[in-house]
């Protein structure tokens, strides 16, 4: 039903938008959607986010319950730490880390649809000096390839760079693609001069192991990492653990919220890795 409604809506907008007046009306609706803002407060930290569609409304409604382990992990960081948010989406955790812990955040997000919201959210929370947007995908090496996307919605997920599989290793249902430049974590430091991270948060829906493969130097310097892993995707889980362990990191725990127990993400966990002292 949801899909049918979206097709009907797109068809209606397409017809209306063919005329000059209709085009102006459609543009006004789009602009108005981007002006919708909701505020969330978590443990005394207040943040505002643009909510142009239901996906983003849900992200705000579930801010404290979707990944409470991620919020606790951020809360444990020393103030002023450098955090790489790899797969930043619209910046919920980038903004939280910057405002809560004064982290210097480098938000890696290649989706052209999410970048606008990410930038708006950083601006809304007056965090421009703390959050740097990096509009490039990370991978195992420096290369030009295709970003394959399963959604063109603002705030959408399930995209992958240079591969055709998604979070559990199954084939990605591609609806949009474009070619772009990707680079490794070590390239980001050596070629772009981005400061090496103290902490890495990674959620890229399937190619976590490839990104970790391209960052042995970065991983050896990191104090900790939070990486989303789907245990059904054996190659991803096995290789990710190999690269993180080789860098001297130890998995402390793996967690997910109760809401995922009866969902397609029941085997997805945020693995929290740390460097033993």
pLDDT tens digit string along 178-188?
Answer: 999 999 999 99
Token couple for 50? 């643009």
Please, which residues bridge with residue 254 across strands? 271
Residue 157, pLDDT above cutoff 80: yes
93-109, pLDDT tens digit by residue?
999 999 999 999 999 99
Residue 28, pLDDT above cutoff 70: no
> Residue 259 falls within a domain, yes or no?
yes
Helix (H) or strand (E) holding 251: strand 250-255
Is residue 149 within 8 A of residue 197, CB to CB? The reply is: no
Average pLDDT, the chain: 92
In this structure, what DSSP letter does residue 22 have? H
> Residue 133 falls within a domain, yes or no?
yes
Please, which residues have CB within 8 angstroms of residue 220's CB and are 6 or more apart in sequence? Answer: 247, 248
> Residue 14 falls within a domain, yes or no?
no
Please, which residues have CB within 8 angstroms of residue 78's CB and are 6 or more apart in sequence? Answer: 101, 198
What's the CA gap between 132 and 197, in Å, rounded?
Answer: 13
> Residue 256 falls within a domain, yes or no?
yes
Q: What is the CATH number of the domain that holds 199?
A: 3.40.50.150
Ramachandran class of 89: left when φ > 0, alpha when ψ lies in -120 to 50, beta otherwise: left
Q: By residue range, what is the domain housing residue 233?
A: 61-274
Closest to 30 in 3D by CA, of 15, 41, 45, 17? 17
Average pLDDT over residues 246-254: 98
202-238, pLDDT tens digit by residue?
999 899 999 999 999 999 999 999 999 999 999 999 9
> Residue 22 falls within a domain, yes or no?
no
Ramachandran class of 17: left when φ > 0, alpha when ψ lies in -120 to 50, beta otherwise: alpha
Residue 7, pLDDT above cutoff 80: no
- Number of domains the chain is built from: 1
> Residue 68 falls within a domain, yes or no?
yes
Token couple for 239? 């290789």
> Residue 6 falls within a domain, yes or no?
no
């Amino acid at each position: 039903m949801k899909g049918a409604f979206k097709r009907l809506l797109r068809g209606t907008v397409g017809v209306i938008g063919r005329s000059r007046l209709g085009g102006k009306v459609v543009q006004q609706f789009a602009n108005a959607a981007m002006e919708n803002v909701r505020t969330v407060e978590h443990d005394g930290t207040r943040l505002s986010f643009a909510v142009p569609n239901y996906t983003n409304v849900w992200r705000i409604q579930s801010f404290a319950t979707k990944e409470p382990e991620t919020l606790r992990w951020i809360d444990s960081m020393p103030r002023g730490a450098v955090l790489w948010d790899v797969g930043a989406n619209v910046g919920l955790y980038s903004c939280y880390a910057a405002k809560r812990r004064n982290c210097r955040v480098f938000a890696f997000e290649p989706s052209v649809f999410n970048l606008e919201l990410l930038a708006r959210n950083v601006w809304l929370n007056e965090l421009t000096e703390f959050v740097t947007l990096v509009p490039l995908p990370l991978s195992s090496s420096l290369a030009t390839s295709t970003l394959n996307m399963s959604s063109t919605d603002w705030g959408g997920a399930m995209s992958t760079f240079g591969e055709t599989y998604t979070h559990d290793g199954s084939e990605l249902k591609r609806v949009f693609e474009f070619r772009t430049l990707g680079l490794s974590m070590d390239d980001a430091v050596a070629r772009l001069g981005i400061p090496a991270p103290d902490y890495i948060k990674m959620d890229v829906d399937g190619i976590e192991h490839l990104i970790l493969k391209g960052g042995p130097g970065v991983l050896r310097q990191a104090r900790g990492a939070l990486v989303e892993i789907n245990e059904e995707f054996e190659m991803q889980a096995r290789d990710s653990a190999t690269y993180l362990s080789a860098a001297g990191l130890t998995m402390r725990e793996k967690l997910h919220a109760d809401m995922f127990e009866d969902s397609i993400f029941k085997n997805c966990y945020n693995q929290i890795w740390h460097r033993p002292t």
